[in-house]
A and B are shown apart, each in its own frame.
Chain A
Amino acid sequence: MAKSLHVISIYILSHLGLIFFLYPGNILASTSQGHWAPILLGVTLHFIFILIYLKGLSFFPNKDIISIYSGIGKIPTFLFLIPVLIYFIMVIIITVRAYAEIINIVFLTHTPIWAIMILLLSMITYLAAKGIEVIFRTGLILAFIFLPIILFIMILSFENADWRYAIPIDTDFRFLTKPDFFESFFAFAGGFLFLGFVQPYFSYGKKGVVVAALILIPFFIFSVYIPVLTFGPHTASTLFMPFVVVLDSLSINWLMFERVTMFFLISLICFVTIYTSMTTWKAIRIINHYIPSIKPIFLLLSLSVLVFFTCLLVAPTWEDVNKLFRWNAFFRFYSIISIPLSLCFLGLRLKRKGKNETI
């Protein structure tokens, strides 16, 4: 059954959840003027990779990437899937830890961080246990409820914008030497890999994914430019999560709420939950491929416990989270580059073989 709508909404949700927190800070740290260049470069790369990925997947209709790789032998499967698995687990750890921190700062200053992590992890585990179809349906309903709020607040956030801050627009390519620029790919990566996992459960049109990616472009741009336009590039770059600070600075008299940030963040956290539970589900799929004897539910529970204790013991402070973030860079790039390229390569080879055989 074609479920393009589900795929589009999940695609948008999972990216939105990632964009507004760390991405603006990373971009602002990578260059002091002409922020459009790193954004555009990132978006272009993002597009190139999804197109390659979709092309590669289109050679294998109704197959997920686990079965594609396992079709060509053990070593390549190991070579491609294990780094992806490590990347996924790191992503789960980082998101749970980072978002627990954000919740702790913004909402629940007195609540211990482990309690928040338990809340997040239980939600993620529950969703992951229910499987990808439930995650998709939940995502769709959440999109109906929360996307209007996000759009509304996005529009409101232009309140204090001063368009003169957008200039100077010229830029150089020094941002390419900054690690922050490469960290910004956290917002792009991982989000699209799910397309390769859902194939037997959901089929989707290629067009839908491209549309979703196009819809996301303004969000990438505004998440960086709204803080810049509000505070100026130099002030903005000193802030921790600039977009959140912009939202906190809004004061709208006719709204009965003092802090619209809350609603924005709540929506995003719900989206991130969807994203993380999807990642967890993917990780479990890969683990289950290697350890088929244990029931997935037990694997899932042990993974959640592992993530919980890692968050608690390995990354007790924000600096540690940042360190994890940096360490993960290798796996991140490995996943987003090697998977689409290898799939495309395999697909082309398969096609050539098929042609040769028919001749």
Chain B
Amino acid sequence: MDYLVQQIKTVLGKNDDLFLQRDYIANTPVVLLGFTTLVDLNKTRDFLHHYAKSAFSEDKLIDEFWSMLGKEEEADTKKAISSIYEGKLIITFENTNRYITVEPVTKTLDRSIDVPSNENVMQGPLVSFTENIETNIGIVRKQFPSSNLSVTSFLTGPNKTKKVSLLFMDGRADKELVEIIQNKIEEKIEMDISHIQSLTKMMGFSSWETVPKFHTTDLPFQVVQCLKKGRVILFVDDIPLALCLPILLEDMFIDENDRNFPLFLMIAIRTLRVLGILVTLIFPGLYVALVSVNPEVLQIDLALTVAHSREGVPYPALVEIILMLVILELILEATIRLPKSVGPTITMVGGIILGQAVVEAKLVSNLLIIVLAATTIANSTIIGFQQAVSIRLYKYILVVLAAAFGLIGLATGLVFTIAYLASVNTFGRPYIYVNLQRNEKQ
């Protein structure tokens, strides 16, 4: 056997899915090498034979035929092996050390384009991104056929196999931002990017910020609108999401799909979402403040009703609400974790606990259940799961401050939260970005 094939076999021989198939293509004895798990061997062979036949019927020279298949290489075993790992087919010529790397017919290992599973779309395009980065960029190109769309790709990781692509719109996108991102990627191109956290590290963001650094979406429509607004999109191989930079506060309540509604309805819907954010933040704290520190704010009948509903509850409002909030968070987490067939059980059990049993057992007040339900529902109106989680976190600060200082503590907590959000920025682009002229510019 040839030296090259021998070499490849000693390195990859441990893998059962390696194939070494002798064949005659265009009357030349060759050995085909690849992984059966990645390459559809039968179809590829059919294709090669068919291709050879048609090439010779057009009177092409044999060298011309090979060069059309792929670039010929000499004795570079390392490169051949890494090509095999990438799912390519290697054709080696017998009795020589030359080989060609060919793009084979691959096994379908990707999910087909599907409806979005992380977000729901009302009356809008239903296509969503998949794990295949090429497909994702293709979808964007299809929805946004513009000469201004720039796609720059980088191969990252220790073996340079993980593809990261940067999409932006020439002329609209912040040039400085694009440059910074490109430099950051090139600086740490050896880094292994397998999740968003590693990408955060690559970008050099602090790991301890509670606001997500990327606006994640799996809707191409959203991405196209982001591009048009001059934002930058990052795609990473095997992450079925588009990562939009810089992230803005408005991503929490502005969904581009809203523009499929009449303007007035759009404004109404967005106002509702802003309200959702405020309710999520304020309601639990307000309950604690009104029940335990400042009941005099309420009208006397209302204050009495509140007091009555808390009759027999054995612990302070702070403990009561934290206890129930934690249970609620556990339910939320459990429903994500469980398979779809078991999920409803959790909903049912949670419903029983939160709905009736806890109140009847006099462990928490009726009112608290209403507050909790309102908070959870309001939290679900926020766009983007990551942002919703970060907002979910701040309410605890408000609850604790409200328990200590009542209404004024609640307000202080709100100011703290807003100040924190105001201090967040992406390469100097503020998270809270209000510019009314923006729409006129476009």
List the B side residues contacting A127 at CB < 8 Å. Answer: 415, 419
The answer to the question of B432 belonging to the interface, with a C-beta cut-off of 8 Å to chain A, is yes
Of all chain B residues, which has the CB nearest A131?
B423
Instruction: Number of A interface residues at 8 Å Cβ cutoff, please give it.
Output: 34
CB distance A137 to B430 under 8 Å?
yes
Chain B window 387-425, contacts with chain A (Cβ cutoff 8 Å), 1 for yes, 0 for no: 000000000000000000111111110111011011100
Q: Which residues of A contact B (CB under 8 A)?
A: 5-6, 103, 107-108, 111, 115-116, 119-120, 123, 126-127, 130, 133-135, 137-138, 140-142, 145, 255-259, 262, 266-267, 269-270, 273
- The distance in angstroms between the C-alpha atoms of A133 and B433, with both chains bound, is 11
Contact residues in A for B298 (Cβ distance below 8 Å): 256-258
Shortest distance from the beta carbon of B403 to any chain A beta carbon, whole Å: 12
What residue of chain B has the Cβ atom nearest to residue A107's Cβ? B408
Q: CB-CB < 8 A to A273: which residues of B? A: 412, 415
Which listed residue (B405, B419, B434) contacts A119, Cβ 8 A?
Answer: B405
17 extra interchain contacts, Cβ-Cβ under 8 A, other than A5-B434, A142-B418, A257-B297? A115-B405, A119-B405, A119-B409, A119-B412, A127-B419, A135-B419, A138-B415, A141-B421, A141-B422, A145-B414, A256-B302, A258-B299, A258-B300, A258-B303, A259-B297, A262-B407, A269-B408
User: How many whole Å from A333's CB to the nearest CB in chain B?
Assistant: 31
Q: Check if B412 sits within 8 Å of A258, measured CB to CB.
A: no
Q: With A133-B430, A269-B411 in contact, do A108 and B419 touch (Cβ < 8 Å)?
A: no
B-to-A contact residues, CB < 8 Å: 278, 293-294, 296-300, 302-303, 405-412, 414-416, 418-419, 421-423, 430, 432, 434, 436
A12, chain B: closest CB distance, angstroms: 15
Q: In chain A, what residue has the closest Cβ to B303?
A: A258
Q: Specify which of A133, A141, A256 is in contact with B418 (CB 8 Å cutoff).
A: A141
Is the Cβ of B299 less than 8 Å from the Cβ of A138?
no
A141/B432 contact (C-beta < 8 A), A107-B406, A130-B422, A130-B423 known: yes
Supply 30 A–B pairs (Cβ within 8 Å), ascending by A.
Answer: A5-B434, A5-B436, A103-B408, A107-B294, A107-B407, A107-B408, A108-B293, A108-B405, A111-B405, A116-B405, A120-B412, A123-B416, A126-B419, A134-B422, A134-B423, A135-B419, A137-B422, A137-B430, A256-B298, A256-B299, A258-B296, A258-B298, A258-B300, A259-B296, A259-B297, A262-B297, A267-B411, A269-B408, A269-B411, A270-B414
Q: With A145-B278, A258-B297 as known contacts, state yes or no: A140 contacts B434, CB within 8 Å.
A: yes
- Look across to chain B and name the residue whose beta carbon is closest to the beta carbon of A257: B297
A107 to B411, CA, bound (A): 12
In the complex, which residues of chain A have a beta carbon less than 8 angstroms from the beta carbon of B422?
130, 133-134, 137-138, 141
Chain B residues whose CB sits within 8 angstroms of the CB of A134 once the complex forms: 419, 422-423
| CA gap between A91 and B414 in the complex, in Å | 24
* B286 smallest CB distance to A (angstroms): 11
B290 nearest in chain A by CB position = A257
CB distance from B39 to the nearest CB of A (A): 55
- Nearest B-chain residue to A136, judged by Cβ: B422
Contacts of A257 in B (CB 8 A): 297-299
Question: Is there an interface contact between B415 and A123, defined as CB atoms closer than 8 Å?
Answer: yes
By Cβ-Cβ distance, the 10 closest A-B pairs, closest first, are A137-B422, A266-B411, A134-B422, A130-B423, A134-B423, A138-B422, A137-B432, A138-B419, A258-B299, A141-B418
Contact of B415 among A108, A140, A142 (CB under 8 A): A142
Using Cβ atoms and an 8 Å threshold, which residues of chain A touch B414?
145, 270
Residues of B within 8 A of A107 (CB): 294, 405-408
What residue of chain A has the Cβ atom nearest to residue B249's Cβ? Answer: A141
Chain A nearest CB from B437 CB (Å) reads 8
Q: How far is the CA of A145 from the CA of B164 in the complex (A)?
A: 40
